[in-house]
Amino acid sequence: MSKIEWQLPQNEDRHFDRMIHHNSKLHAFVDGESLCGKYGISPNYYETTDVTEEEIMKNKELACKKCLSKLNVV
Ligand SMILES: [Zn+2]
């Protein structure tokens, strides 16, 4: 199974500076596409996060609901 990476889609106009903006959800990316089908990875516009799945499970409100449901964790 491919590794799941949690990434924060980044707005061109904003700079997140390592903080998770409360309006932005983390999406689960596998092979460069989010599980919810909304996003493809573009290195220029995505904040790389070190968020682990464990942290996501503890803070589900940080993550995209659709991505979570694809992982069967909702
Ligand atoms: Zn998503």
CB under 8 A, 24+ apart: contacts of 52-61: 52/6, 53/4, 53/6, 56/6, 56/26, 56/28
User: What separation in Å is there between the alpha carbon of 39 and the centre of ligand 1?
Assistant: 7
pLDDT of residue 47: 62
The dihedral over CA atoms of 64, 6, 74, 36, expressed in degrees to the nearest 10, equals 50
Domain limits at 58? 5-70
Reported pTM? 0.69
Number of domains in the chain: 1
Tens-digit pLDDT profile for residues 27-36: 998 888 899 9
Tens-digit pLDDT profile for residues 2-16: 788 888 876 544 454
User: What separation in Å is there between the alpha carbon of 9 and the centre of ligand 1?
Assistant: 9
User: What separation in Å is there between the alpha carbon of 70 and the centre of ligand 1?
Assistant: 9
Tens-digit pLDDT profile for residues 34-47: 999 988 766 555 56
The single-letter code of the amino acid at 52 is T
Residues with CB under 5 A from ligand 1 (ion): 27, 34, 36, 64, 66-67
Query: In a 10 Å sphere around its CB, with 0-12 CB exposed, 13-18 middle and 19+ buried, how is residue 50 labelled?
Result: exposed
Of residues 50 and 30, more confidently modeled: 30
